[in-house]
Amino acid sequence: MAAEIRRDIEGLRAVAVGVVVLYHAHFLGLRGGFIGVDVFFVVSGFLITSLLLREHSATGRVSLSRFYGRRVRRLLPASCLVIVGTVVAGNIWLEPLRLRDLGTDAVASGGFVANIVFAQRGTDYLQSALPPSALQHYWSLAVEEQFYVVWPALLALLLWRGARSTSRAAIGIASVSVASFVVCIWQTSASQPWAFFGLHARAWELGAGALLAIAWPRVVALSPRLRGIGGWAGVAVTIAACFAISEAMAFPGVLALAPVVGTVLVLAAGDDATRGPVVVLRNGAMQWVGARSYSIYLWHWPALILGEAALDGPLSVAERIALVVASIAAADLSYRFVENPVRRSPVLATRNNLTLCVGALLVVVSVGAGAMLRNKSVDLSTDVVATTPTFVTATTTSTAPASPIPTDTTAPGDSTTTSSSPNADTTVPAGPPPPIVSPTEPLAAVIEGITTDKVPKNLEPSLAGATGDKPVIYDDGCHLDAGSTEPGECVFGDASSQFTVALFGDSHAAQWFNALDAIAKQRGWRLLALTKLGCTPIEQITYNSTVGATYPQCEPWRANVKERLAAERAAVVFISYSNRLQQVGVQQPFPDQVWLDGFAELIPELRAAGTEPVLITDTPYPGRDVPICLSSNVSSVRNCAFSREKGIRQSRLDTNMAAAVNNGAQVLDVTNWLCTDKVCPVIVGNLLVYRDSNHITTKYAEWLIPLIDAAISPYVEGVRQRTKVS
């Protein structure tokens, strides 16, 4: 049986928390420092199972109430203190719009379900782009707490009666662990956030430690020298994993075997392998850090996140060092004056019912603090009432459309139009279709928008409602999520029309849906919605944080879209996408040549099938979540505006347009509808331009309907006429 005091385990805890802190603070290039949590899981499984086995061996039973009492004294006092402290500090330094989410996270953390909240948030493409929560690290505590709920009862059941109860327990734990490992591998590729945060996919790591505890009598029978060699191998594997593994890889999955096996080998070396890792792990400094590892883990992450908000980050190296040092100091204080006094209280140790009542009170305090913050009223606008913006519809094209068509290009408030009156027939000269349609200059309303100082009270959508301002295809399942590959029967526009157009791309295509749907209804086009989050239209496998290291579902989805376009005889397809989608492995945008080669393959393929592509250029990237920024700048809106140079990578934009034009596709360049020649405003009149850090609001897209109609309808109607003639 494992000894009660293990210097090697205290030192191993120091290593685990050390690599986590270095990773979060971006020091030493520890790309995989998050594997420190895996080390903690194995250690917890080992210690908890050892404790329960000792109790069963001594008394013949496992007392669930005493087990939970010990866990209450060990975990909840410091956990509650950090949650309440984070809520108070967040209320001071976080942007107002982030307070509601922090309150939700505090409730989830106090209620032991933070991992479920963060898994759900991680699979939401829109939510995953939000700044990280100051309580995000509580996910691992939730996993352990959920483990503690089921593990003692399961182990007690496996050990119940019988001469071979230990063998039965080993078989049962091994079976559960293998099943969990299989689920972990599968879900890492299917939905990485759930694999990363879910107990069901992490239980095998705790199970590995538990199996070592059961096998301990046989382990200690091995020679200390052999165990010592194995322990050093475990240290090497674990440290190597910190540098070799990164967020861009399929983790946990099979890769998690490295820190898990490494930790098992270090634990197996034990305290008595005098030439094993204990010779380093027993160092006084490591023992000091290891003893405080739980408190350090709790304090360091809120310090970094809230520090960045307070100092208006990103943080410098000196600031990160200072915040880490401050968090260690806070951890030491909470260890000495909260964690240890409660854990070692003789009153609580002898009065278990009182301990459980104290635990319930701490849960109520944690959850209550979060609920108060979540329901706090915040001022997200001023008393200013803005007017609905107006614009002119003049555009410039390199060549005119192919045939005379009726166009409606007038919008309320226009000072210049391309037609003499609404719904006027405009005859345009014959000739090849224009390769690029773009505004002649930035819209007057956009130019005026850069002078906006205050968030108007009639802002549409409101800052609080911005994340929900999504096209309708998000609600009816027509914008596919990560796991789906088969486009639904998503027919919009004039569903009875014989002339079909389609929208193809990722969420940056979906953001134009409502506008295109309105135009399609007006023009008598049948519109297909063929969009999916995070997928390029060209044949590339991408990295996507909501899925995992690779995003293989994009390939079959693209094939299905092309089949659908051909089957529906779509005459025109509007293509749009994020030009910052990332390559697998490096998490960097695709190089220009990839887009050139991809369009050289895609566009001829579509045209050969009878579908004419129209590329809608990507929208600017503000660089931060706009509603969140505005929530702390309600009277200084210009602090949230950004430069055109920053928001639009001109070389990438030019390359993407050239790739389309060189292969005979029409291009609609929307940049001057969103930016001046130097600045991109975030509020135009009473319209919020961005709903997050990279998507425009549906309200703004709908406001642009007359401009979009004037730009695309001549070309689409020309294709329609040619289709009729043919």
* Residue 551, pLDDT score: 81
Q: How confident is the model at residue 324 (pLDDT cuts 50, 70, 90)?
A: very high
d(CA 432, CA 440): 20
Give the lowest-confidence range in 333-342, 424-433, 463-472.
424-433
Give ranges for CATH 3.40.50.1110 in the chain: 395-434+448-670+681-725
Give Cα 416 distance to the centre of its chain. Answer: 44
The DSSP secondary-structure symbol of 335 reads I
> Mean pLDDT, to the nearest integer, of 294-321?
95
Say whether pLDDT at 717 is over 50: yes
pTM here?
Answer: 0.86
* Residue 483, pLDDT score: 80
The SS3 call for residue 503 is strand
DSSP string, 259-328: HHHHHHHHHHH-SS-TTSTHHHHT-HHHHHHHHTHHHHHHHHHHHHHHHHHHTTSSPPHHHHHHHHHHHH
Say whether pLDDT at 548 is over 70: no
* Residue 131, pLDDT score: 82
Give the lowest-confidence range in 381-390, 407-416, 465-474, 477-486.
407-416
3-class secondary structure for 390-447? CCCCCEEECCCCCCCEECCCCCCCCCCCCCCCCCCEECCCCCCCCCEEEECCCCHHHH
Tell me the C-alpha to C-alpha distance, in Å, between residue 155 and each of 64, 74, 166, 273, 614: 11, 21, 10, 29, 62
* φ, ψ of residue 192 in degrees (nearest 5): -55, -40
> Mean pLDDT, to the nearest integer, of 210-231?
95
Q: How confident is the model at residue 393 (pLDDT cuts 50, 70, 90)?
A: very low
Mean pLDDT of the chain, nearest integer: 89
Give Cα 143 distance to the centre of its chain. Answer: 19
Higher pLDDT, 250 or 720: 720
User: What's the Rg (C-alpha) of the chain?
Assistant: 30
d(CA 240, CA 643): 41
Tokens describing residue 632: 């702390």
The DSSP secondary-structure symbol of 88 reads H
* Residue 287, pLDDT score: 96
* Residue 444, pLDDT score: 93
E strand or H helix at 682, and its extent?
none
Q: How confident is the model at residue 129 (pLDDT cuts 50, 70, 90)?
A: low
- What fold does the segment set 395-434+448-670+681-725 form as a domain? Rossmann fold (3.40.50)
> Mean pLDDT, to the nearest integer, of 511-529?
98
* Residue 3, pLDDT score: 45
Partner residues linked to 244 by β-bridges = none
**Percent of the chain surpassing pLDDT 70:** 91
Q: How confident is the model at residue 364 (pLDDT cuts 50, 70, 90)?
A: very high
> Mean pLDDT, to the nearest integer, of 233-252?
92
The SS3 call for residue 688 is strand
* Residue 397, pLDDT score: 46
Give the lowest-confidence range in 155-164, 275-284, 339-348, 623-632.
155-164
* Residue 392, pLDDT score: 56
Q: What is the pLDDT of residues 3-28, one digit of tens each?
A: 457 999 999 999 999 999 999 999 99
* Residue 726, pLDDT score: 55
Say whether pLDDT at 421 is over 60: no
Number of CB atoms found within 10 A of residue 534's CB = 24
d(CA 370, CA 113): 13
Q: What is the pLDDT of residues 470-491, one digit of tens each?
A: 999 999 989 998 888 999 889 9
* Residue 323, pLDDT score: 98
* Residue 406, pLDDT score: 30
> Mean pLDDT, to the nearest integer, of 359-384?
96
Q: Which residues of 71-110 are buried (b: 16+ CB within 10 A; e: fewer)?
A: bbbebbbbbbbbbbbbbebbbebbbbbbbebbbbbbbbbb
Partner residues linked to 589 by β-bridges = 582
d(CA 581, CA 536): 7
* Residue 402, pLDDT score: 31
d(CA 67, CA 658): 67
Give the lowest-confidence range in 140-144, 189-193, 557-561.
189-193
* Residue 124, pLDDT score: 57
d(CA 531, CA 509): 7
**Percent of the chain surpassing pLDDT 90:** 76
Tokens describing residue 225: 């020298």
* Residue 166, pLDDT score: 85
Which range is most confident: 159-168, 397-406, 442-451, 587-596? 442-451
Of 102, 276, 191, 715, the residue nearest 482 (C-alpha): 191
Number of CB atoms found within 10 A of residue 458's CB = 14
> Mean pLDDT, to the nearest integer, of 563-590?
90
Give the lowest-confidence range in 282-291, 331-340, 416-425.
416-425
Give the lowest-confidence range in 139-148, 312-321, 500-509.
312-321
Q: How confident is the model at residue 313 (pLDDT cuts 50, 70, 90)?
A: confident
* φ, ψ of residue 436 in degrees (nearest 5): -135, 130
Say whether pLDDT at 627 is over 50: yes
Residue with tokens 């922090």: 102
* Residue 416, pLDDT score: 32
> Mean pLDDT, to the nearest integer, of 135-159?
94
Say whether pLDDT at 150 is over 80: yes
Give the lowest-confidence range in 80-94, 397-411, 662-676, 696-710.
397-411
